[in-house]
Amino acid sequence: MSKLTGSRKATQFTESVIREMTRLNEMYGGVNLSQGFPDFPAPAVIKEAACAAINADVNQYAVTWGARPLREAVAREFSRRYGVRVVADEQVTVCCGSTEAMMSTMLAIIDPGDEVVIFEPFYENYGPDAILSGATPRYVTLREPGWTFDPDELAAAFNEKTKAIIINTPNNPTGKVFSREELETIAALCRKWDAIAISDEIYEHIIYDGQLHVPIATIEGMSDRTVTINGLSKTYSVTGWRVGWTISPPSLTGAIRKVHDFLTVGAPAPLQEAGAVALAIPDDYYRKLAADYQRRRDVLLEILERHHFTVYKPLGAYYIMTDIGTFGFADDVEFARYLVKDIGVAAVPGSSFYKNSANGRTKLRFCFCKRDETLQDADQRLEKLVPVGVHLH
């Protein structure tokens, strides 16, 4: 057999469906409500800080585990908000986005045969992250409409091989915000089985209806077995900057930093300087961010309901999961392709968030991190969409 093929690892997962939808959308000139990046400007103060850093010739490698001002800011803000002491030198590692933070963490802690518990529907990177790091994923399903999990099903997913559980709250794609009680249940299992919680909290500040974000690191006994992952992308609308970080217990930091160093050396140095400025923005910014997104959420919820989607109201993050059963398509991928080609709106097929694609066959995810004009444009295009039965007359 020819050796001019991809590795076994690389053939175990497919290309990102989200990026495929973005490409199709560009081809057909539609409205992109698939990939979660904002189409509005980032705060001026952080753009100015980035320009200032480049003009000041912050152009060479930063310290591999992250420029001190950003690491200190990450530690300071987490301690201030949640009352858990974080020591920048021992616990914070800056990476190229939370994507690399997750990958470096997984590669740093997983041995072949280790199991990792993943809630589904999941952010689509977690599957490939598990495969690339050699982990065996164990999936536990979050069930609509509340996206709750069955504590017995979760307990059954843990065993002596369980190395870690991945949590994402506020959650992509469901908009679920894990409650303290749910996190207590997860934490008890982590303590029982000596497992690590890897908590992707990238939507920390994008949270609605008075919900509170609870980092699992704040639950009793969890700060020394939790890796918290976060970044600038969503909070400051700079998904292209590629700055994220881990907050890890000192016992894991060395391994994460080594892997990170050999994967990417470091995140963009001038943008790390701007990151430190971003984290010092007064709290009003975060309140406004959440209020603006809540308004956008309500706008898109109304649009989608009017166009016959069944919607699951998100309590955080900037996505709406929908059910598309009323449109009579064979599956979600066929519907998503139809929607982008014939209607002109790109969304993500639900199956890309499930291990067993049948579970996502009638689902579709829209994002609302978009300007009002963009959402209105989508609204107009969706006028052409008709549920089964209606267009027969």
Question: What is the full DSSP assignment across 72-87?
Answer: HHHHHHHHHHH-----
Minimum distance of ligand PLP from residue 220's CB (angstroms): 25
User: What is the Cα–Cα distance from 114 to 133, expressed in whole angstroms?
Assistant: 10
Taking a C-beta distance cutoff of 8 angstroms, is the pair 126, 166 a contact?
yes
Minimum distance of ligand PLP from residue 93's CB (angstroms): 14
- What are the tokens at 353? 């968030």
Judged by CB under 6 A, does residue 168 bind ligand PLP? yes
Of 91, 172, 248, 272, which one interacts with ligand PLP (CB under 6 A)? 172
Residue 247: in which H helix or E strand, if any?
A: strand 244-247
Minimum distance of ligand PLP from residue 23's CB (angstroms): 17
What burial class does residue 284 get, using C-beta atoms within 10 Å of its C-beta: 0-12 exposed, 13-18 middle, 19+ buried? exposed
DSSP secondary structure code for residue 311 in this structure: E
Taking a C-beta distance cutoff of 8 angstroms, is the pair 186, 162 a contact?
no
Question: With respect to ligand PLP, which residue has the nearer C-beta, 324 or 369?
Answer: 369
Question: With respect to ligand PLP, which residue has the nearer C-beta, 203 or 309?
Answer: 203
The number of residues in the chain equals 393
Question: With respect to ligand PLP, which residue has the nearer C-beta, 30 or 36?
Answer: 36
Minimum distance of ligand PLP from residue 97's CB (angstroms): 3
| Window of 50-58, 136-144, 231-239, 346-354 that interacts with ligand PLP by CB under 6 A | 231-239
Q: How many CB atoms lie within 10 A of CB 191?
A: 15
What string marks each residue from 83 to 102 as x (binds ligand PLP by CB under 6 A) or -? --------------xxx---
Judged by CB under 6 A, does residue 237 bind ligand PLP? no
Judged by CB under 6 A, does residue 200 bind ligand PLP? yes
Minimum distance of ligand PLP from residue 203's CB (angstroms): 7
387 preceded by a cis bond (ω within 30 of 0): no
* Buried/exposed 341-358: b ≥16 CB within 10 Å, e otherwise: eebbbbbbbbbbbbbeee
Question: With respect to ligand PLP, which residue has the nearer C-beta, 119 or 329?
Answer: 119
Judged by CB under 6 A, does residue 231 bind ligand PLP? yes
Radius of gyration of the chain (CA): 21
Taking a C-beta distance cutoff of 8 angstroms, is the pair 143, 177 a contact?
no
Minimum distance of ligand PLP from residue 330's CB (angstroms): 28
Judged by CB under 6 A, does residue 139 bind ligand PLP? no
Question: With respect to ligand PLP, which residue has the nearer C-beta, 244 or 379?
Answer: 244
Judged by CB under 6 A, does residue 105 bind ligand PLP? no
Minimum distance of ligand PLP from residue 269's CB (angstroms): 17
116 in helix, strand or coil? strand
Sheet holding 319-323, edge to edge: 310-312, 319-323, 363-367, 348-349
Judged by CB under 6 A, does residue 246 bind ligand PLP? no
What string marks each residue from 21 to 60 as x (binds ligand PLP by CB under 6 A) or -? ---------------x------------------------
Of 78, 119, 123, 354, which one interacts with ligand PLP (CB under 6 A)? 123
Question: With respect to ligand PLP, which residue has the nearer C-beta, 167 or 189?
Answer: 167
- What are the tokens at 254? 């060395």
Taking a C-beta distance cutoff of 8 angstroms, is the pair 369, 36 a contact?
yes
Question: With respect to ligand PLP, which residue has the nearer C-beta, 161 or 355?
Answer: 355
Judged by CB under 6 A, does residue 202 bind ligand PLP? yes
Question: With respect to ligand PLP, which residue has the nearer C-beta, 18 or 154?
Answer: 18
DSSP secondary structure code for residue 339 in this structure: I
Q: How many residues bind ligand PLP (CB under 6 A)?
A: 13
User: What is the Cα–Cα distance from 202 to 77, expressed in whole angstroms?
Assistant: 14
User: What is the Cα–Cα distance from 118 to 120, expressed in whole angstroms?
Assistant: 6
Indicate the residue whose CB is closest to ligand PLP: 97
Minimum distance of ligand PLP from residue 390's CB (angstroms): 34
DSSP secondary structure code for residue 340 in this structure: I
Q: Which of 193, 187, 256, 267 is nearest to 233 (CA)?
A: 267
Of 121, 137, 244, 266, which one interacts with ligand PLP (CB under 6 A)? 244
User: What is the Cα–Cα distance from 148 to 312, expressed in whole angstroms?
Assistant: 13
Give the binding site for ligand PLP (CB under 6 A). 36, 97-99, 123, 168, 172, 200, 202, 231, 233, 239, 244
